[in-house]
């Protein structure tokens, strides 16, 4: 069994939820009493908090938090809707009190009276600001609701053109559609993946690649997507690699998952490669098993056996951290395709950039990255793990159009590859 400690994860997540809830509820109670709100406002909030906690304990004890459907999924969504907006609210409360503490220390050091003692009208202004602040607390709830109701299955097509060194002119314009992190257990029924397949087919690709995490944990989850994945594989070549979640099971379950994926017509490539195209008029598509998250199933050497350094090569590798660890300046890979991060599932647009908490963990979170002549594309995934929502990070279908380089670009690349 190669599975994360779900009990520990459930306890830690529940503890964080409760702490956030207590911080916000205590401050709201103080605010409500100070402004003489009817006592049912605070009582109602505490009753809802108790219901949310009991619901979380019920779902966590009854079901695997990485594998929920039906009633359990809807209950968990309700719990997340109650708890998740508390994070920015608790952060704002913390900042407010920190600023107040700094102000009191500053006035004490200077030996001056607090501002509210100098200007009697300040308290009323402060009360107005507090009311306005608590009124804006509804905004995080709106964002979470939108992330659950709309963005969660707002499958979005991203398009990229990639100049692949050494690519023959005959392959110029070859299109690859990448999807990743299906996490079949995160879908309540077959309809979301059915929409994914419809969008993929609408692009009329030459090939489809899936970069790991077919399931959350159990092979039986594939039942949600099997029919439509088979339909996709019957029309286009579908190549795939495995992800960390595809190993969160027993050896027997893992074999069942691998066999089940291949029975659907998917060419699941494990530490091996395929040559795409005819003879020398093509490129190499290599794939490794997962490396990352304390897993070491991948074998790049085996995957590249018989591949010449000057052959245009694309690698499927689920975890993007492998790019810096083993590819950049170390292996003759022109383009690596990954997933794993889900784009953080939560991000905010700023000045044309996506700012995500995931960037604190991963250097490459979503989109295209370049170091020297080598490229990495990180797909945002189509499923979810943990809270069933996406805020600012739509589930992604990527269309990669390969372009043949000019003669001068090829020459420069070949000279650079000799030093790797």
**pLDDT, tens digit (0-9, with 9 covering 90-100), for 165-177:** 999 999 999 999 9
Q: Assign residue 251 the CATH number of its domain.
A: 3.60.21.10
Both 101 and 178 in a single domain?
no
User: CA of 132: how far to CAs of 28, 87, 127, 138, 256, in Å?
Assistant: 13, 18, 9, 11, 56
List the single range of 89-98, 134-143, 301-310 with lowest mean pLDDT: 134-143
Identify the domain containing residue 138 by its residue range.
Answer: 6-148
Predicted pLDDT of residue 408: 46
Token pair recorded at residue 310: 């000057």
Both 88 and 159 in a single domain?
no
Both 130 and 170 in a single domain?
no
Q: Are 310 and 417 in contact (CB under 8 A)?
A: yes
Residue 1 lies in a domain: no
- Beta-bridge mates of residue 210: 179, 240
**At a CB cut-off of 8 Å and minimum separation 6, what does 55 contact?**
75, 78, 79
Complete DSSP assignment for 73-119: HHHHHHHHHHHTTHHHHHHHHHHHHHHHHHHHHHHHHHTPPPHHHH-
Predicted pLDDT of residue 15: 87
Q: Are 168 and 280 in contact (CB under 8 A)?
A: yes
The 10s digit of each residue's pLDDT in 40-95 is 878 888 898 899 899 888 887 776 666 565 677 778 878 888 888 888 788 878 88
Number of domains in the chain: 2
Q: Check pLDDT > 50 for residue 249.
A: yes
Q: Check pLDDT > 60 for residue 2.
A: no
**Closest C-alpha among 253, 177, 263 to residue 215:** 253
The whole model's pTM is what?
0.79
Kindly give the residue spans of alpha helices, DSSP state H, lying in 271-329. Answer: 300-303, 321-322
β-pairing, 335-338 with 313-316?
Answer: parallel
List the single range of 98-107, 121-130, 284-293, 408-417 with lowest mean pLDDT: 408-417
Both 295 and 194 in a single domain?
yes
């Amino acid at each position: 069994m190669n599975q994360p400690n779900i009990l520990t994860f459930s306890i830690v997540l529940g503890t964080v939820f409760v702490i956030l809830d207590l911080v916000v509820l205590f401050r709201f109670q103080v605010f409500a009493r100070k402004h003489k709100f009817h006592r049912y406002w605070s009582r109602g909030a505490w009753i809802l908090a108790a219901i949310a906690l009991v619901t979380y304990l019920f779902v966590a004890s009854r079901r695997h938090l990485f594998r929920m459907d039906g009633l359990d999924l809807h209950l968990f969504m309700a719990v997340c809707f109650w708890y998740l907006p508390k994070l920015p609210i608790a952060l704002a409360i913390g900042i407010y009190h920190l600023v107040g503490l700094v102000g009191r220390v500053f006035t004490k050091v200077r030996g001056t009276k607090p501002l509210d003692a100098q200007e009697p009208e300040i308290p009323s202004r402060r009360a107005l600001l507090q009311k306005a602040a608590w009124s804006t607390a509804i905004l995080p709830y709106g964002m979470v609701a939108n992330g659950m109701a709309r963005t969660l299955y707002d499958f979005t097509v991203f398009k990229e053109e990639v100049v692949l060194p050494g690519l023959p002119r005959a392959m110029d314009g070859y299109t690859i559609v990448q999807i990743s992190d299906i996490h079949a257990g995160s879908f309540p029924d077959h309809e979301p993946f059915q929409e994914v397949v419809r969008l993929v087919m609408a692009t009329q690709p030459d090939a489809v690649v899936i970069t790991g995490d077919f399931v959350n944990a159990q092979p039986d989850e594939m039942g949600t997507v099997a029919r439509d994945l088979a339909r996709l594989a019957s029309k286009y070549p579908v190549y795939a690699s495995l992800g960390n979640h595809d190993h969160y099971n027993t050896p027997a379950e893992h074999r069942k998952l691998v066999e089940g994926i291949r029975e659907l017509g998917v060419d699941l490539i494990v530490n091996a490669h395929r040559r795409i195209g005819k003879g020398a008029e093509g490129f190499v598509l290599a794939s490794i098993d997962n490396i990352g998250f304390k897993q070491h199933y991948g074998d790049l050497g085996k995957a590249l056996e018989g591949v010449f350094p000057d052959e245009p090569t694309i690698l499927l590798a689920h975890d993007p951290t492998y790019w810096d660890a083993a590819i950049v300046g170390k292996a003759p890979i022109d383009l690596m395709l990954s997933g794993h991060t889900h784009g953080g599932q939560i991000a905010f647009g700023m000045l044309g950039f996506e700012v995500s908490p995931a960037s604190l963990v991963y250097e490459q979170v979503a989109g295209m990255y370049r170091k020297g002549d080598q490229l990495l594309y990180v797909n945002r995934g189509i499923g979810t793990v943990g809270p069933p929502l996406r805020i600012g990070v739509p589930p992604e279908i990527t269309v990669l159009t390969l372009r043949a380089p000019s003669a001068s670009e090829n020459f420069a690349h070949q000279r650079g590859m000799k030093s790797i």
